[in-house]
């Protein structure tokens, strides 16, 4: 264990007595729900690999994290290779590395590499899923209350375009999906169930394993789609336990990959029963004048044209997360977020919005005195990055008011958090 980590842990427990006490929402943080790191976090290495920490306090990892330099270097090296030998030729040269990278991503989520498609974003993956799953007028789709706007928007369009029925699951007492209530809801025939693992506008964590069990038990066999955008690279994910048909994730957030990358994990039932629509020449073959041959793996969901450099960067980010250890990352992110919550909870004029017994690295607060945009601009001038969550990211839960999001990663140390807290304290009366 590094000295820095030891010190920051000691300081954390001394300085933040309310860490495990009830917060302003009256809910207790369940520390036992977080996995203990199987090995200690090497924060010195994390910071050495993240050059910007020398001049920046980046607490917008739920927006886009700072990639480790190994990721950036991998992207640049491939762009240089393309410059030197040509794009198609460079792609051929890295074909083996690409397939190893697919395995690395699969291992990160407990899946098989045959089930992994490399996408341009999580939303690109969602759109492919929505155009693939056969939907008919009257089909019912259930979504978690904390769903992301980018998921809800096309579903709302489908209610208008083709008459599907979209229902929001009632929240359990802590704001997460109540699996028993879901089981009751699933007595009514349902075509698809969507659950966001860790939403971007609230620090709650949905129990996607319990949601999966309830969905699997449903008589009508709905397709189960999990949004792991904010959890990939932050929390342990095991698709074999979640038992979903599709898991979608972004590369640029907690995984720390380059922008313009995403992952789609396709489960065995979807691979057996669904094609992938529309197919591109990577995912299918035009054979014998009028035949379509479909790739047997999740590659059927991919497009031919993409940034190979960004894809290699995504894979380098997966390798990096393995090296640091996802359990160690999860523990450090959770501790950083609870440290912020415990201190913000004590400041006048601030209200914590996070719900859930288990909480992610996403801390969402509102100042009753100052609009979040003003706070973000002010801290940006001090080289501290926070983010405004617009009310439109989930108006059911945020109403018509934006909120302030602070999303630490494992590379953030206590000095980073204290710097942000000191600046935020200026907005208290
Ligand atoms: C919870 C959640 N789902 C989905 C998305 C969309 O991901 P992408 O921008 O990679 O399409 C985001 C992006 O912020 C998100 O936070």
The rounded Å distance from CA 85 to ligand 1 centre is: 35
Helix, strand and coil percent figures for the chain, each rounded to 5: 45, 15, 40
Q: Is 122 in the pocket of ligand 1 (CB under 6 A)?
A: yes
All residues at 6 or more sequence positions from 121 whose CB lies less than 8 Å from its CB, including other chains: 250, 260, 261, 262
Any atom of ligand 1 within 6 Å of the Cβ of 307: no
Residue 199 CA: nearest ligand 1 atom is 1
pLDDT of residue 428: 86
Ligand 1 within 6 A of CB of 63: no
| 150 pocket-lining for ligand 1 (C-beta < 6 Å) | yes
Q: How far apart are the first and last CA of the chain?
A: 39
- Ligand 1 midpoint to CA 230 (Å): 7
Q: What is the pLDDT of residue 39?
A: 63
Q: List pLDDT tens digits, range 105-160.
A: 999 999 999 999 999 999 999 999 999 999 999 999 999 999 999 999 999 999 99
With contact defined as beta carbons under 8 Å apart, do 303 and 381 qualify?
A: no
Q: For residue range 160-211, what is the model confidence (pLDDT) as tens digits? A: 999 999 999 988 999 999 999 999 999 999 999 999 999 999 999 999 999 9
> Is any atom of ligand 1 closer than 6 Å to the C-beta of 123?
yes
pLDDT of residue 170: 86
| Residue among 144, 196, 200 to mutate when testing ligand 1 (max atoms within 8 A of CB) | 200
**Dist. CA 394 → ligand 1 center (Å):** 12
* Distance between Cα 32 and ligand 1 center (Å): 28
Relative to beta strand 403-406, strand 363-367 is antiparallel
Q: Which atom of ligand 1 is least distant from the CA of 198? A: 1
Statement: residue 34 has pLDDT above 60: no
**Atom 16 of ligand 1: nearest residue by CA position:** 200
For domain 71-323, give the fold.
3.40.640
* pLDDT on residue 4: 36
Using an 8 Å Cβ cutoff, are 27 and 174 in contact? yes
pLDDT at residue 340 is higher than 80: yes
**In the numeric block, which tokens belong to residue 354?**
């996070």
What is the residue-wise DSSP string for 77-139? HHHHHHHHH-HHHHHHHTHHHHHHHHHHHHHHTT--GGGEEEES-HHHHHHHHHHHS---TT-
Task: Work out the pLDDT band at 309, boundaries 50, 70, 90.
Answer: very high
Distance separating alpha carbons of residues 119 and 309, to the nearest angstrom: 13
Mutational pocket test of ligand 1: of 62, 119, 121, 122, the residue with most ligand atoms within 8 Å of the beta carbon:
122
Q: Is 177 exposed, middle or buried (0-12, 13-18, 19+ CB in 10 A)?
A: buried
Q: Report how far residue 16's alpha carbon sits from residue 346's, in angstroms, rounded to the nearest whole number.
A: 10
pLDDT of residue 29: 42
The share of the chain scoring above pLDDT 90, in percent, equals 89
Domain ranges of the chain: 3-59+325-425, 71-323
Q: Whose CA is nearest to atom 12 of ligand 1?
A: 229
Task: Find the mean pLDDT for residues 262-279.
Answer: 98
pLDDT at 100 over 50: yes
Ligand 1: does its nearest atom lie under 6 Å from the Cβ of 262?
yes
Q: Which pLDDT band, with edges at 50, 70 and 90, does 429 fall under? A: confident
Helix (H) or strand (E) holding 117: strand 116-119
Could you read off the pLDDT of 344-367 as tens digits, one per residue?
998 989 999 999 999 999 999 999
Residue whose CB lies within 8 A of the most ligand 1 atoms, among 61, 63, 123, for a mutation test:
123
Q: Does 371 contact ligand 1 (Cβ within 6 A)?
A: no
What is the C-alpha separation between 379 and 396, in angstroms, rounded?
28
Is the Cβ atom of 194 under 6 angstroms away from ligand 1?
Answer: no
Longest distance between any two alpha carbons in the chain, whole Å: 74
Residue of the CA atom closest to atom 5 of ligand 1: 229
225 C-alpha to ligand 1 centroid (Å): 14
- CATH, range 3-59+325-425: 3.90.1150.10
Predicted local distance difference test score (pLDDT) of residue 427:
93
The pair phi, psi for residue 398, each rounded to 5°, is -95, -10
**Which residue has the least CA distance to atom 8 on ligand 1?**
122
What angle (nearest 5°) sits at the alpha carbon of residue 232, between those of residues 87 and 249? Answer: 60
Compute the mean pLDDT over every residue in the chain, rounded to the nearest whole number. Answer: 92
């Amino acid at each position: 264990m590094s000295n820095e980590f030891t010190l920051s842990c000691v300081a954390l427990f001394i300085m933040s007595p309310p860490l495990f006490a009830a917060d302003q929402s009256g809910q207790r943080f369940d520390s036992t729900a977080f996995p203990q790191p199987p090995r200690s976090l090497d924060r010195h290495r994390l910071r050495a690999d993240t050059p910007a920490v020398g001049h920046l306090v980046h607490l917008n990892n739920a927006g886009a994290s700072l990639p480790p330099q190994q990721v950036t270097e991998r992207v640049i090296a491939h762009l240089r290779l393309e410059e030197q030998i040509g794009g198609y030729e460079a792609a051929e040269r890295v074909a083996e590395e690409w397939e190893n990278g697919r395995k690395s991503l699969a291992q990160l989520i407990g899946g098989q590499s045959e089930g992994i498609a490399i996408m341009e974003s999580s939303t690109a993956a969602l759109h492919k899923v929505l155009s693939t799953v056969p939907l008919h007028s009257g089909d019912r789709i259930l979504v978690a209350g904390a769903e992301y706007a980018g998921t809800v928007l096309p579903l709302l369009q489908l209610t208008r375009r083709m008459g599907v029925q979209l229902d929001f699951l009632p929240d359990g007492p802590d704001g997460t999906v109540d699996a028993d209530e879901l089981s009751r809801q699933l007595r009514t025939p349902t075509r698809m169930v969507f659950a966001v693992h860790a939403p971007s506008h609230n620090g709650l964590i949905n129990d996607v394993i319990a949601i999966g069990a309830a969905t699997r038990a449903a008589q009508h066999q709905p397709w189960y789609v999990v949004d792991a955008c904010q959890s990939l690279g932050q929390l342990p994910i095991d698709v074999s336990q979640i038992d979903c048909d599709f898991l979608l994730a972004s590369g640029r957030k907690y995984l720390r990959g380059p922008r313009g990358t995403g992952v789609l994990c396709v489960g065995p039932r979807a691979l057996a029963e669904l094609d992938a629509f529309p197919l591109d020449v990577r995912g299918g073959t035009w054979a014998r004048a009028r035949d379509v041959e479909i790739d047997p793996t999740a590659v059927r969901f991919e497009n031919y044209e993409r940034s190979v450099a960004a894809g290699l960067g995504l894979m380098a980010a997966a390798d990096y997360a393995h090296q640091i250890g996802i359990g160690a990352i999860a523990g450090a992110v959770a501790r950083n977020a609870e440290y912020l919550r415990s201190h913000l909870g004590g400041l006048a004029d601030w209200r914590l919005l996070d719900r859930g017994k288990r909480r992610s690295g996403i801390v969402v607060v509102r100042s009753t005195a100052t609009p979040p945009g003003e706070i973000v601009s002010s801290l940006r001038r001090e080289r501290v990055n926070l983010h405004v969550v617009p009310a439109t990211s989930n108006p059911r839960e945020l109403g018509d008011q934006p909120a302030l999001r602070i999303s630490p990663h494992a590379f953030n140390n206590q000095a980073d958090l204290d710097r942000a807290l000191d600046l935020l304290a200026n907005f208290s009366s």
